[in-house]
Structure 1
Amino acid sequence: MTDLILHHYPNSPFSEKMRLILGHKKLPWKSVLIPPIMPKPDVEALTGGYRKTPVLQIGADIYCDTALICDVLEHLQPLPTLYPEPEKGMSRILAQWADSTLFWAAMAYNLQPKGAAEMFANAPPEAAKAFSEDRGKMTGSGMTRLRPGDATAAYKSYLRRLSDMLDDKPFLLGGVPCITDFAAYHPLWYTRRMNAVKGILDLTPAVGDWMDRMAAIGHGSFDKLTSAEAIDMARAATPQSLLSDSTFQDEHGIALGSAVTVRAETFGLEETAGTLISASRMHYTLARTDPRAGTVHVHFPRIGFVLKKAE
């Protein structure tokens, strides 16, 4: 199997989600550390514009968004499964809630003034400004950001509901972790790392115990790789998708072979332009050529992304 290359940075919650899943599935991987804010020229050489973290690279195939990356890893290593029967549908729906509603409530709580002050305590003054400006540019007009008081109230309610789910089982849907656990864990992981705000977790001890069980999974076996080495590996490879749902499903009146763009719906609005070579029930694939990375295929999930004909 071609190397699994995760482009990530240590403090990224969604990266922690994927690091744990790689550990859970005992899949060895390569670690490429990327900047937390723009510019990210090496990332863009592979994705063509998409800049959210993390990104999974397998040769010349670039997989964007953790929902799609999880499906790729499930294909590579079906056991232990992320989507157990008979809760397969429920686990995916709850994971989508955790990756969106729970995540944004948690991060609005985490980055309230005292949390942000701790986050940038040892950084130069311009670092906080650069981070704020970077994240501001990623936010679309249709996205609502919770104020700290509203976020705190919502976060407390969500933690209580997670605690209720753990009354009679070690993980959220049963005796073993599934995609719901990994999606719900990563925003709470960020909270626990910050002294200024982690006290909120003391209100739900069952959640804390569950977090200990999740953390014990670990990140598995990985080696370090530079971004330049990863780009060279893409250039030397031929794209070969691991996504099995290949039947064309046209919802836009856009034919395969068309010049198109794909971007996220609400956060991280940078477009990737390329030739549409797949539009299945689950994903889009664009072919593009970069001067450094060569010909790559960039893959996106359908849910949460916008496909348009290139102007």
Structure 2
Amino acid sequence: MSDLILHHYSSSPFAEKARLMLGLKGLAWRSVTVPMMLPKPDVVALTGGYRRTPFLQVGADIYCDTALIAEVLEARQPSPSLFPAAVAGQARMLAQWADTDLFWTALPYAMQPAGATALFAGAPPDMLKLFVADRKAMSEGMPQVRGRDAGAALTQYLDWLSQMLADGRPWLLGDAPCIADLSVYHPLWFITRTGPLAEILAPHEALRAWMARVAAIGHGERAGKLDGAEAIELARASQPRPAQVEPGQGFEAGEPVTVTPYDYARDAVAGTLVGLSCRTVTVAREDGRAGRVHVHFPRIRYTLKQA
């Protein structure tokens, strides 16, 4: 069962990044729409509690975090590369900055009253209130920039990005798009949906032209939709790929462990350690609905502990 199945929802910025990765690779994928907020019973059956959007399913293997999804897609379809050799290190570092500092500046800027009103236009009256409560719980205890501070920081970030394009290059790191472009794009894409707050992008003509080029990459080939129950049944009918715990990592295969994001949505996933390197961690889980699944995480920005 090797179909790529993306679990996502349309307005998720990180899901937009994943969709563009699939588009850049020219890959076909199947779509499962997940809820924006808890409860997410079908998600939990597959991930064991990881609640961020999106995640990628390949049979009984579940890949969490767009940083890891990028590596999975690169291995599956090496060309065109998300990590061109000449700029691979720069691309990864810029992508990490975009997924953290830029995203966590753009989000509070976008969720100011005027932006939130635009984002939730036409939604049921209580939807915004429920969404804010859900996201507040996700980010509890996490230092965040707010309101005008977010606007001031974002103004500087947009200036920096515009300076990268000032020499006329089509993409942030040269002549070809890469993971840096897709990672920087998704927080700015979210801002374009915020009505009057999107005017912060208006002075940046070169940056807006670059955004149009990124959007034109598209989302690849949508090969059909599944619902959550169908995706779970597909996992149950599959066998996860073998994994290996490398020596010298401080853990042993077969140990009960937890994996927890250390910045936000800090829901621990518990399982048996079956794969570990300096780049990834894999836990095996037995679920009453999904059967045996392997849930994969990146090592960066995740905490691995003995249970």
- Scaled by the length of structure 1, the TM-score of the pair is 0.95
Is residue 2:260 matched to residue 1:263? yes
- The equivalences for 1:162-173 within 5 A come to 162-168=161-167, 169-173=169-173
Asked if 1 retains the 8 angstrom alpha-carbon contact of 2:26 and 2:220, the reply is yes
Is residue 2:4 matched to residue 1:9? no
Counterpart code for 2:151: T
Q: Matches of 1:110 and 1:67 in 2, distance apart?
A: 23
Q: Unaligned 5+ residue runs, structure 2?
A: none
Query: Which portions of structure 1, spanning 4 or more consecutive aligned residues, are displaced by more than 6 angstroms?
Result: none
Shift, 1:193, TM fit: 2.0
Shift, 1:125, TM fit: 2.8
Report the CA distance shift for 1:205/1:77 in structure 2 as closer, same or farther (over 3 A).
same
Is residue 2:240 matched to residue 1:239? yes
RMSD: 1.3
Structure 1 equivalent of residue 146 of structure 2: 147
Q: Matches of 1:26 and 1:227 in 2, distance apart?
A: 25
Structure 1 equivalent of residue 111 of structure 2: 111
Name which of 250, 268, 283 aligns with 2:280: 283
Asked if 2 retains the 8 angstrom alpha-carbon contact of 1:191 and 1:197, the reply is yes
- The equivalences for 1:166-245 within 5 A come to 166-168=165-167, 169-222=169-222, 223-240=224-241
Asked if 1 retains the 8 angstrom alpha-carbon contact of 2:114 and 2:194, the reply is no
State the identity %.
53
Structure 1 equivalent of residue 73 of structure 2: 73
Paired residue secondary structure (2:86): coil
Q: Matches of 1:81 and 1:121 in 2, distance apart?
A: 38
Paired residue secondary structure (1:278): strand
Q: Matches of 1:140 and 1:262 in 2, distance apart?
A: 18
Q: Matches of 2:263 and 2:303 in 1, distance apart?
A: 10
Shift, 1:25, TM fit: 0.3
Shift, 1:140, TM fit: 4.2
Counterpart code for 1:239: P
Name which of 265, 269, 274 aligns with 1:272: 269
Asked if 2 retains the 8 angstrom alpha-carbon contact of 1:250 and 1:279, the reply is no
What does the per-residue CA deviation read over 1:26-70, in whole Å, with 9 as the maximum and x for residues that have no partner? 110001001000011001100000000001000000000000000
What does the per-residue CA deviation read over 1:48-93, in whole Å, with 9 as the maximum and x for residues that have no partner? 0000000100000000000000000000000000111221111101
Report the CA distance shift for 1:192/1:249 in structure 2 as closer, same or farther (over 3 A).
farther
Asked if 1 retains the 8 angstrom alpha-carbon contact of 2:91 and 2:180, the reply is yes
Shift, 1:194, TM fit: 2.3
Report the CA distance shift for 1:210/1:178 in structure 2 as closer, same or farther (over 3 A).
same
Asked if 2 retains the 8 angstrom alpha-carbon contact of 1:62 and 1:296, the reply is yes
Structure 1 equivalent of residue 246 of structure 2: 248
Shift, 1:292, TM fit: 0.5
Asked if 1 retains the 8 angstrom alpha-carbon contact of 2:5 and 2:57, the reply is yes
- Scaled by the length of structure 2, the TM-score of the pair is 0.96
Counterpart code for 1:235: R
Counterpart code for 2:154: Y
Report the CA distance shift for 1:258/1:140 in structure 2 as closer, same or farther (over 3 A).
farther
Structure 2 equivalent of residue 127 of structure 1: 127
Shift, 1:167, TM fit: 1.6
Q: Unaligned 5+ residue runs, structure 1?
A: none
Paired residue secondary structure (1:122): coil
Structure 1 equivalent of residue 155 of structure 2: 156
What does the per-residue CA deviation read over 1:96-143, in whole Å, with 9 as the maximum and x for residues that have no partner? 0000000111111111111112223322332122111111111142x2
Report the CA distance shift for 1:132/1:184 in structure 2 as closer, same or farther (over 3 A).
same
Q: Matches of 1:31 and 1:285 in 2, distance apart?
A: 23
Shift, 1:205, TM fit: 0.8
Q: Matches of 2:247 and 2:111 in 1, distance apart?
A: 40
Name which of 285, 298, 302 aligns with 1:301: 298
Counterpart code for 2:240: P
